[in-house]
Amino acid sequence: MRRVAVTGLGPVSSIGTGVAAFSAGLREGRSGISEITSFDASRFPYRNAGEVPDFDAAALLRRLDPAEWGRSSQLAAAAARLAATDGGFDADAPDPDRVGAVIGTTSGESVVMEQLTAQITDAGFATMDPALLAMLPAHRLAHAVSAELGLAGESVTMATACSASNYALGYAYDLIATGQAEVMFAGGADSVCRWAHAGFFRLGALTASACTPFDRDRSGILTGEGGAVLMLEELGRAQARGALIYAEVLGYGLNCDAKHPVAPDGPSIAECMRIAHRSADIKPSDVDYICAHGTGTPANDAMEAAAIAEVFGAVPPPVSSIKSMIGHTMGAASGFGAIATSLAIHQGFLPPTINWANADPAFPGLDPVPNVARPATVRVAQNNGFAFGGNNAITLFGAAA
Amino acid sequence: MTGLVITGWSELIPPVDPAADAAGLFDEPLPAARAAALVDFDVRAHLGRKGTSFYDRATALAVVACAAALRDSGIVVDEVGSARVGVVLGTTVGSFKSTSDFSRETLVQDKPYLVNPVLFPNTVMNCAAGQAAIRLGLRGVNATIAGGRLAMHQTLRYAVNALSRSTTEVLLVGAAEEFSPHRAWNGYRSGTDVGEGAAIFVVERADAPRHASPPVAALLGVASGFGWREAAPAALAGCVRRALAAAEVEPSMVDLVATSAAGSGPDSEYAVAVDVLGRSPEHLAVGQLLGECDAATGALGLAALLHRLRAEPTAVAVLTARTPDGGAAAAVLRGVP
């Protein structure tokens, strides 16, 4: 089986766009949470989210005209462009049909959906704008990446909700490992939207202003947005061209709770971790860091901590949640987790869980890397992603040998 | 060779000649009363009331079709093991109606957050696959691919990989697309009639101990790719070539070309395939029999093709698809005598 390297990183996030800014944000424990400006939130009880208000698609994209693409496609394509530039991707490389894109998302072109809904509500179905209708299909997120980078290989949008980036990374890893592709751009994108803000609020899963994962008093998520794309490449190819290798993809695991549309299931999550460990051919004791799903809801963090304790024992490796900084970026979340994990391995630090104040007595052995990033040697790291629909997906990364 | 076989399938297909009167299905106006819609479809008649009351139409169609495909294959999930059976569904935007209706509540309610939280999961595109897993007890690989008209090919590609790289042994693969005012008016704005339907296929590895009835067809090769604007025909040609190569099928062996679009003019799917094959096999326009069915287009097209392959099991068929946005795909299938 061929080995797969991470050779380019493309974060477009509320704590920084591009590797340098994002990495600095993680190290500083920066908060990307701000008052919502993308829609009128004045009549909502909670009005904060992890928007990327300074996202400038035109400045980042070289081929796509932003006017023809929805915000999520723009975020995906911009993140992919950053990853390609960071990774030194040569668009004129041979075999363009062996270079592809797999992009995960929860809500696809949610902003376009809301614009169309406003038209329907204001003046009826017949007034829907055909240009917006053309932007609506979610396959356009992956297609935007392919068009921006001139890729002829597989162009797939994984719509497995909030673990979708890990699904995308797992599939891209397999395509390279089995010799079906040479380079893949994989990750995810989503946009802040009114309906998700309302939906999470009514589920009782939204918090007011600070997301506090693994804290005793945690009270929910903040919705977030962004684009997170990694350039994955066959290891020998990366070595031959002298590429900087952030990390190696060691494997991944998927399973499905088959129990409840929204509630997580601890035993199923633990089983997903074991599947991922078998795929990567590692033992729990090999793992130096867990980049948690860590949404900050009472239910998720309790289930996740219990699953970690079940698999790793009483003293698991440090577990932090970057959602404390950037909010829950939905389909991009495990893509940001994968970027943070790759940086943790390459630069030797653990991203912190910010806003953390009180240990939860329910998980005494858990070290959330509270508030301040920490230097550490990370040889193997686990990146968790869970989702509505019981779609669990976990990726594993290792230091480049 | 992909090494996969189709060992059962289901299809939910509305009448088209004449199309049904869909005017009574929704409170909202429709651009035309007649539509290729399953007007008598009632999820409770298939699955009962329990657990189905918050299904939207797209989810209901998908779950009913998944259950029917399993029945057709003779597979009993508990005998295979629930962790070894999974589902890979295609979609376009999930349910346009469910998502837009939910979003609409945030505009029309006195308090914009007074949405019904029970309906929130219906706005997420993996809703149908998650509900199919809950209903049928499927704990194996569970994926949703937003492929639009490429959804059938892309879910098959994903299934080929998942069945060789995971412990999942049986996958339900296909798509459902619902009729709704939202999709009907979307079609109206672009001058097309939209339909609805679902088709789900039970897919297993040919070399694994099979759990189902004898195979109906073999999936010999499948490829998908991308070509933006002027590169679109070359992208489809590349997919046909790669699918043929994976299938180890020579152009001279191809008996049928089944396309997602009806035309056969320059740069049409059929013309691109003919160009690659160097000959002109019979053309079956399987994709538009019910009008525009978006993500279900390929699934319904594959079902139509399987009827033909069952009657003519030695025939080799190329099944093509593409999106208006640059996506392209091709598969090679053969009946099983």
pLDDT tens profile A146-193? 999 999 999 999 999 999 999 999 999 999 999 999 999 999 999 999
Is residue A247 a part of any domain in this protein? no
Output DSSP code: residue A50. Answer: B
Chain A neighbours among B 284-303 (CB < 8 Å)?
A: 294
| Residue B225 to chain A, least CA–CA distance (Å) | 4
A175 touching chain B per CB within 8 A = yes
Q: List residues bridging with A50 in a β-sheet.
A: A224
Using CB atoms within 10 Å of the CB of residue B336, give its burial: 0 to 12 exposed, 13 to 18 middle, 19+ buried: middle
pLDDT of A84 higher than 80: yes
pLDDT at A148: 97
Is residue A152 a part of any domain in this protein? yes
Give the separation between CA A228 and CA A29, rounded to whole angstroms.
18
B53 touching chain A per CB within 8 A = no
**Residues A83, A222: one domain?**
yes
First to last CA, chain B: 18
**Residues A80, A211: one domain?**
yes
Phi/psi for B203 (5° steps) reads -120, 135
Interface size A-B, in CB pairs within 8 Å, comes to 257
pLDDT at A340: 98
Q: Which of B28, B92, B97, B142 to probe by mutation at the A interface, max A CB count within 10 Å? A: B142
pLDDT of A7 higher than 90: yes
Is residue A245 a part of any domain in this protein? no
Q: What is the 3-state secondary structure (H, E, C) of chain B?
A: CCCEEEEEEEEECCCECCEEECCCCCCCCCCCCEEECCCCCCHHHHHCCCCCCCCCHHHHHHHHHHHHHHHHHCCCHHHHCHHHEEEEEEECCCCHHHHHHHHHHHHHCCCCCCCCHHHHHHHCCCHHHHHHHHHHCCCCCEEEEECHHHHHHHHHHHHHHHHHHCCCCEEEEEEEECCCHHHHHHHHHCCCCEECEEEEEEEEECCCCCCCCCCCEEEEEEEEEECCHHHHHHHHHHHHHHHHHHHCCCHHHCCEEEECCCCCCCCCHHHHHHHHHCCCCEEEECCCECEECCCHHHHHHHHHHHHHHHHCCCCEEEEEEECCCCEEEEEEEEECC
User: What confidence category does residue A396 fall into, taking pLDDT thresholds of 50, 70 and 90?
Assistant: very high
**Residues A20, A167: one domain?**
yes
Residue located via tokens 């989702």: A387
Among A214, A240, A266, identify where a domain stops. A240
**Residues A187, A314: one domain?**
no
> Which residues from A are below 8 Å from B129, CB to CB?
160, 389, 391
Among A173, A207, A240, identify where a domain stops. A240
Catalytic residue among A143, A197, A328, A346: A328
Is residue A216 a part of any domain in this protein? yes
Q: List residues bridging with A35 in a β-sheet.
A: A48
CATH number of A328's domain: 3.40.47.10
DSSP sequence for A62-121: SS--GGGS-HHHHHHHHHHHHHHHHTT--TT-S-GGGEEEEEE-SSSSHHHHHHHHHHHH
**Residues A277, A390: one domain?**
yes
- Neighbouring residues of B74: CB distance < 8 A, sequence distance ≥ 6: B8, B212, B213
CA-wise closest residue to B7 among B154, B295, B217, B273: B217
SS3 A281: coil
B70 touching chain A per CB within 8 A = no
Is residue A297 a part of any domain in this protein? yes
ipTM over 0.85: yes
pLDDT at B189: 84
Element holding A147 (H helix, E strand): helix A140-149
- pLDDT digits (tens), chain B, 337 positions: 788 999 999 999 998 888 999 999 999 999 999 999 999 999 999 999 999 999 999 999 999 999 999 999 999 999 999 999 999 999 999 999 999 999 999 999 999 999 999 999 999 999 999 999 999 999 999 999 999 999 999 999 999 999 999 999 999 999 999 999 999 999 998 889 999 999 999 999 988 777 777 899 999 999 999 999 999 999 999 999 999 999 999 999 999 999 998 888 989 999 999 999 999 999 999 988 888 999 999 999 999 999 999 999 999 999 999 999 999 999 999 999 8
Structure tokens at A111: 């902003």
Asked if B113 lies within 8 A of A198 by C-beta distance, the reply is yes
Structure tokens at A385: 């992603």
Say whether A162 is catalytic: yes
Supply the angle between the helices B57-73 and B127-136 in degrees, to the nearest 10: 40
pLDDT at A94: 74
| Residue A359 to chain B, least CA–CA distance (Å) | 30
SS3 A351: coil
Q: List residues bridging with A195 in a β-sheet.
A: none
**Residues A269, A132: one domain?**
no
- Neighbouring residues of A365: CB distance < 8 A, sequence distance ≥ 6: A309, A314, A315, A316
CA-wise closest residue to B217 among B10, B69, B67, B4: B4
**Residues A48, A189: one domain?**
yes
Asked if B104 lies within 8 A of A258 by C-beta distance, the reply is no
Domain residue limits at A342: 252-398
**Residues A88, A127: one domain?**
yes
* Own/partner pairs, A310-313, CB within 8 angstroms, 24+ separation: A310/A266, A310/A267, A310/A270, A311/A270, A311/A273, A311/A274, A311/A277, A311/A284, A312/A284, A312/A287, A313/A284
**Residues A29, A126: one domain?**
yes
Among A240, A264, A293, identify where a domain stops. A240
| Residue A146 to chain B, least CA–CA distance (Å) | 7
Is residue A233 a part of any domain in this protein? yes
> Which residues from A are below 8 Å from B51, CB to CB?
none
Give the number of domains in chain A: 2
Phi/psi for B72 (5° steps) reads -60, -35
Full-model pTM: 0.98
**Residues A225, A264: one domain?**
no
Give Cα separations from B80 to A69, B76, B171, B252 (angstroms).
Answer: 44, 7, 12, 40
- Residues B236 and B227 sit within 8 Å (Cβ to Cβ): yes
B264 touching chain A per CB within 8 A = no
**Residues A309, A386: one domain?**
yes
Asked if A151 lies within 8 A of B141 by C-beta distance, the reply is no
Say whether A328 is catalytic: yes
CA-wise closest residue to A249 among A144, A146, A160, A165: A165
pLDDT at A91: 77
Is residue A130 a part of any domain in this protein? yes
pLDDT at B208: 78
**Residues A135, A266: one domain?**
no
Catalytic residue among A162, A193, A272, A291: A162
